[in-house]
Structure 1
Amino acid sequence: MTTATRAPQRISPVFLAIAGCAAAAGWALWADAPPAAGLWVFLCVVACWVVSLCLHEYAHARGALHGGDASVVEKGYLTLNPLRYSHALLSVVLPVLFVIAGGIGLPGGAVFVERHRIRGRLRHSLVSVAGPLVNAGLAVALGAPFWLGAVDGVPVAFRCALAFLVLLQVTAAVLNLLPVPGLDGYGVLEPWLSEGVRRQVAPFAPFGLLAVFGCLWVPELNGFFWDGVHTLTGALGVPEADVSRGLALFRFWEGEPVLPAVSAP
């Protein structure tokens, strides 16, 4: 592989800067809950969330590359640079705004994959499922301190930020895997549908996500969704109280809760 070929796959300085911000904010929370803990939780969660969005889109692009679409290399999708996405607004800005406004992990707009280059229905499905699997994997990894019982003595602000991040990854995975046109879950199923069904469904794809959030306005469906999400976070050992406090700290402009220095043993 030549240097010219490797260049479009090098990790972008933009991504490294975002990851650095996440690490710095996380260290500030770990070292000692600062007076403005909420601000640091906000910075840590937003930066970590953008990192996860980049990894989600990278997984789609990497799957596409192995499936036969080499165009993702020249498009810069493998650099983890969020500015290279075909829909940066949908992929980064809107998900961040939804986290700020509602504390929910909004699925971003996918990278543009040239599907005609990919051969085989299974490969098409793998390209679609790759992104949500990243979110699921991150939920398990971020939740590891909880389900391993390793959070005793951890600064509470750090612990609550981690709990809130787990919730975001779980909501992103669940929403992305819904078999709704326009979401990754439908992308997994689409290759196995007949051509006639795909043509009939295609016009609804741009409105799939809007339909999902419209359904979440229905109290019964909203309750069902959040019950499922909290069941999954609970299965990872993450207490709902930590998630709630993490959200409260994240929304520091509403007034931060008073927290002890470390979690109870």
Structure 2
Amino acid sequence: MATAASPRSDRRVSPVFLGIAAVMAVTGWAVWTGFSADLGLAVFLFVTSGWIVSLCLHEYAHARTALHGGDLTIGAKGYLTLNPLKYTHALLSVVLPVVFVVLGGIGLPGGAVFIERHRIQGRWKHSLISAAGPLTNVLFALVCTAPFWLGALDGVPVGFRFALAFLALLQVTAAILNFLPVPGLDGYGVVEPWLSHRVRRQIEPFAPFGLLAVFVFLFIPEVNQAFFGAVDALLRGLGVSDVETFCGQELYRFWQTEDICGQLAAA
């Protein structure tokens, strides 16, 4: 029989995560069928819960890769349960990314799980651990956009299509931002093992401010325009139009005045 400290219990999926996934499934069904009287609210709950699910999978990917890389303490920390409350920085990992989505429609990355790097040998393993999280966002984006690039949109309700487009946009922005080689982000974690000890020591003090710096730079109009131009280009390559992502975000902000996107989705 498994005990509280056994590997089986360490890796059992948390009821918290299952609850979030259930919200995503139920609200996704509500958007698809038009069951909800307020389509915007259903889209908001579907996209937000989907975004939190992707955050949990992002952190799980880091933890699982670290476990196979040699950090056997990962399980005891609860990281393999997909429970967002087990993260070392729950505020940074879940709350702030959701706030960024609500306020700006940007999938900014959050904080990470605590990995005992000294237990892991080999630069490639360290790089792969850092890359595992944003690669999960890439996979999530491919799943969200699959109906678009497979040409399988026949029979897909317009409102659900808009919601998927916006959720895909969040995944693409998260992947791009996470892969930036900025201290404190996963992209820097990918390249850090290949830097000299002297360079790493010089960069280390700036790590806590990396995410803040990215956020500030995104407020510069030229940077913001270039960034979202790249995001839109990638999504168009996956068959998602600018109109679909725009309407998805408009529906997500259900507290705003009803507009043409809501009328299209309800038609």
Normalization by structure 2: what TM-score? 0.95
Distance 1:39 1:261 in 2: 13
Following the alignment from structure 1 to structure 2, what is the Cα–Cα distance between the partners of residues 35 and 149? 29
Structure 1 residue runs without a partner (length 5+): none
Matched with 1:259 is: 263
Q: Which letter does structure 1 place at the counterpart of 2:13? A: I
Q: 2: CA distance between counterparts of 1:212 and 1:84?
A: 26
The equivalences for 1:132-147 within 5 A come to 132-147=134-149
Displacement after TM superposition at 1:128 (Å): 0.0
Q: Which region of structure 1 is more displaced relative to structure 2, 179-188 or 31-40?
A: 31-40
Contact 1:33/1:155, CA 8 A, preserved across alignment: no
Unpaired segments ≥5 residues, structure 2: none
Residue 79 of structure 2 is matched in structure 1 by 77
Q: Distance in 1 between matches of 2:249 and 2:189?
A: 31
Shift of 1:169: 0.2
Equivalent residue, structure 1, for 2:217: 215
Partners of 1:144 and 1:152 in 2: CA distance: 13
CA RMSD in angstroms comes to 1.4
Structure 1 residue 222: Cα displacement = 1.1
Q: Corresponding residue for 1:29?
A: 31
Q: How does 1:1-265 map to 2 (within 5 A)?
A: 4-32=6-34, 34-257=36-259, 258-260=262-264
**Counterpart AA for 1:57:** E
Q: CA deviation at 1:259?
A: 2.6
**Regions of 4+ moved over 4 Å:** none
Q: Letter of the aligned partner of 2:229 in structure 1? A: D
Write the distance in 2 (CA, Å) between the matches of 1:261 and 1:141: 22
Q: What SS does the corresponding residue of 1:141 show, helix, strand or coil?
A: helix
How far 1:12 moved relative to its partner?
0.2
Aligned residues with identical type, % of pairs: 63
Query: What is the CA deviation profile of residues 177-208 of structure 1, one whole-angstrom value per residue up to 9, with x for unaligned ones?
Result: 00000000000000000000000000000001
How many Å separate the matches in 2 of 1:158 and 1:256? Answer: 17
Check the 8 A contact 1:176/1:185 in 2, yes or no: yes
C-alpha displacement of 1:256: 2.9
* TM-fit CA distance, 1:15: 0.2
Distance in 1, matches of 2:264 and 2:217, equals: 39
